Amino acid sequence: MYPSFSLMLGFEKEVKIKFDAAKIINSDISWISIDSRKPFRNNCFALIAQSSAEYAVQNIRGDKTHVMEYLIQETSDVLSQDLKVLYIRIFMVGYMQMQLIREKMLSFLI
């Protein structure tokens, strides 16, 4: 599994986009989906934006605040909208799993 950053963005108002989910090419954002259409999530509008693996690898040890701000701007650029974000969470996906697999393999070999 390749690493990536997942950004959860919450908004006071719905962001008008023409898709529920989209794979993005030629960007540091690889995937955007509407997250508020899942059951029990109708209190606010939410998006998930996932970084490309390449961006995550290059910035895995970078400052999380910088990564978060950059990915919000990239998401705004991809959607051609100035996003007014009310709630933000960022997660690293895949990296911890790879570390655990690597550690298990090393302990098996020793």
Domains and CATH numbers, the chain: 4-109 (3.90.660.10)
Confidence of residue 57 (pLDDT cuts 50, 70, 90): confident
Read off the pTM. Answer: 0.78
For position 91, what pLDDT does the model report? 85
What percent of the chain lies above the pLDDT cut of 90?
A: 43
For position 31, what pLDDT does the model report? 95
User: Between 88 and 109, whose confidence is greater?
Assistant: 88
Confidence of residue 39 (pLDDT cuts 50, 70, 90): low
For residues 85 and 10, the answer to whether their CB atoms sit within 8 Å is yes
User: Between 90 and 42, whose confidence is greater?
Assistant: 90
How many residues in the chain? 110
For residues 30 and 24, the answer to whether their CB atoms sit within 8 Å is yes
pLDDT at 54 over 80: yes
For position 44, what pLDDT does the model report? 79
Half-sphere exposure of 100 (CA within 13 A, CB side): 6
